[in-house]
Amino acid sequence: MPHSAPSSSHNYPVTHIGETASLGQVEPPALPLDELVPRELAGKRIVLGLSGGIACYKSAELCRLLVKAGASVHVVMTEAATQFISTITMQALSGNPVYLSQWDARDANNMPHINLGRDTDAILIAPCSADFLAQLVQGRADELLSLMCLARPIGRTPLLIAPAMNREMWAHPATQRNLQQAENDGAHILGVGQGEQACGETGDGRMLEPDEILHDLISFFTPNVLAGHHMLVTAGPTFEAIDPVRGITNRSSGKMGFAIARAAQEAGAKVTLISGPVALETPRNVQRINVQSAQQMLDAAQEHITSANILVATAAVADWRPATTATEKIKKNPQEAVPALHFVENPDILATLAQSPRAQSGQLYCVGFAAESQNLVEFATAKRVRKGVPLLVGNIGPSTFGQDDNVLVLFDEHGHHTLPRASKRTLAKQLIREIAQRL
C-alpha cells in the first residue's frame, strides 16, 4: 500500500497523486516569498557577542540574517566593539536591548552575565579578536562578554567563535595555541576567510562572511544523521554541443540538487557535487566538479563514486546528443539546405551506477530523480524498476525548473507518497531525513 502523505502546515491545496493522476493537469500555487526562506533557527535564542575589530560591520548583516532565520538575538558588546559599530544599529537589527556592562541593572537580579549564559541555545562571538580569544583561554572576566562566557554552563551552552584579525596575528604561534586551547576547552572554532584585509594586506584571518557563519550555525544545530557517509550528487542540466557556440540542453536550474548537497553536508556527510552548467554558488564545504556533457558527467561520477556510499542523481541528463559536432560555427547559407541533426543515445548515468558491483552488493545506495511532464506515477514507477534503484524521486519538470519551490513524490518498493509543496531547501532537508532512515 502507498505510504500516507505527510501533513502540511500550509493552507494550500496539496495534490495527492493517485494511480492515474497527472500532476501536469493541476498547477499548484506558488509559495509566498516569505515561505521560500525557511526559518531554520525558529525558536533558537542566540547571544551574539561582538569584540573589537573592523569586522563588526559584518556583524550587522549577520544579526539581520539570524533574525530572518527565526532566531531571537541578544547582543553583547565589548567597549572596544562600540568603537566600530553603534549599539543603536545592533539594537535596531536584533529588536532587543544591547548589553555592554556587567553592572547593567536592567535585569531584576542585576546578573546579566548569569542570565544571558543560561537562557540561550548558543553564544556566538563574531568577531572574536585575537585579544578576546586570549581572554577566553586565560579565563579572564574583566567585562561582561568574557564574564558571561566564563560563567556559562559548558555542558549546556555551546560557545562558537568566528575569529577576525590581521594575517600575521592569525599565523602567530600564540594565536594558534589559543585556538587549540579554546577548542580543547569546549569551544567550536568556525575558521576564517582569506582575502583582502582592512590593513591593506591579503591573507588568512578575515572573519567569515555572514551567510557562511549562518550556514555553520544551522549545521551546528542540524542532527548529524549522515555523519560518516559520503554522498555524490549530480545536478543541473547537461549541454550537448552542436558546434562551438550552439548546443542542446534543458531548463533545469540545478537548484534542487544544490539544495540536497547543502542539506547533506549540514547533516554531517562528506559531499561531492557534479554539476552541469548552472549559475549557482557552490554550497559551503562541498566539493564541486563542473562538467558539460552527459559523457563528462558519467566519467566524473565513475571516478568519484568509488569512495561514496550514497548517490543522489538529480541531474536532468540529455537522453541524446548530436552524432557529430562541428569544429566551427555552422553558418546560415541561403544557397544551402537547412542542416539536419542526427542523434545518438547518451549513456544512462543512473542505470550504469545502479548496476555497478558496489550498488548491487549494497555498498552504494542509489536515489534517482524523474522529471516528467505528465502521468508521473505511471512513468516514475516504471522508471524506478527499470533503473534498478531503491528510491526514486519524481516531480513535474515544467512546473519546477527554475523555481524555488516544488512538490516531490517518493517511489520505493512499497509504493509512493508525497512531500507537499515547499521550498526546495525544505524539501532537500526532508529528503535527507528519508534517505538517512533507509540506509
Q: Could you tell me where the DSSP H helices lie in 167-244? A: 167-171, 173-184, 210-221
Nearest to 414 by CA among 437, 381, 371, 379: 381
What's the pLDDT tens digit per position in 171-206? 999 999 999 999 999 999 999 999 988 889 899 999
Query: By mean pLDDT, which of 82-91, 175-184, 265-274, 337-346 is the weakest?
Result: 337-346
Q: Is 366 a catalytic residue?
A: no
DSSP structural state of residue 200: S
User: Mean per-residue pLDDT for 120-147?
Assistant: 96
Other CB atoms within a 10 A radius of the CB of residue 404 amount to 17
Express as a percent the part of the chain with pLDDT over 70: 91
Q: State mean pLDDT over 2-24.
A: 36
| pLDDT band, very low/low/confident/very high, at 111 (cuts 50, 70, 90) | confident
Q: Which ranges of 119-209 does DSSP label H, i.e. alpha helix?
A: 130-138, 144-151, 167-171, 173-184
State yes or no: 319 annotated in a binding site: yes
Evaluate if residue 36 carries a pLDDT over 80: no
Q: Is 255 annotated as a binding residue?
A: no
Q: Establish whether 131 is an annotated binding residue.
A: no
Structure confidence at residue 15 (pLDDT): 36
Question: pLDDT band for position 35 (50/70/90)?
Answer: low
How many CA atoms within 13 Å lie on the side-chain side of 66? 30
Q: How many CB atoms lie within 10 A of CB 9?
A: 7
211: annotated binding-site residue? no
Matching CATH number, 225-321+345-438, of 3.20.20.140, 3.40.50.10300, 3.40.50.2000, 3.90.110.10: 3.40.50.10300
The reply, when asked if residue 383 is annotated as ligand binding, is yes
Across the chain, mean pLDDT equals 90
Domain coordinates in residue numbering, the chain: 45-221, 225-321+345-438
| pLDDT at res. 114 | 84
SS3 assignment for 262-284: HHHHHCCCEEEEEECCCCCCCCC
Q: Is there a binding annotation on residue 439? A: no
The reply, when asked if residue 58 is annotated as ligand binding, is: no
| Cα–Cα distance for residue pair 310/233, rounded to 1 Å | 8
Catalytic residue among 56, 63, 199, 366: 199
Tally Cβ neighbours within 10 Å of residue 62: 28
Q: How many Cβ atoms are within 10 Å of 54's Cβ, its own excluded?
A: 18
CB 322 within 8 A of CB 248: yes
In this prediction, residue 30 has a pLDDT band, given cuts at 50, 70 and 90, of: low
State pLDDT tens for residues 139-151: 999 999 999 999 9
CATH for the stretch 45-221: 3.40.50.1950
Model confidence pLDDT, tens digit, residues 49-74: 999 999 999 999 999 999 999 999 99
Averaged pLDDT for residues 216-237: 97
Q: Is the pLDDT of residue 3 over 50?
A: no
The annotation status of 243 as a binding-site residue, yes or no, is no
- Please name the helix (run of DSSP H) or strand (run of DSSP E) that holds residue 420, with its range, or none: strand 415-423
Is 68 annotated in a binding site? The answer is no
The pLDDT value recorded for residue 12 is 30
Q: Is 211 a residue whose pLDDT tops 60? A: yes
Identical fold between 45-221 and 225-321+345-438: yes
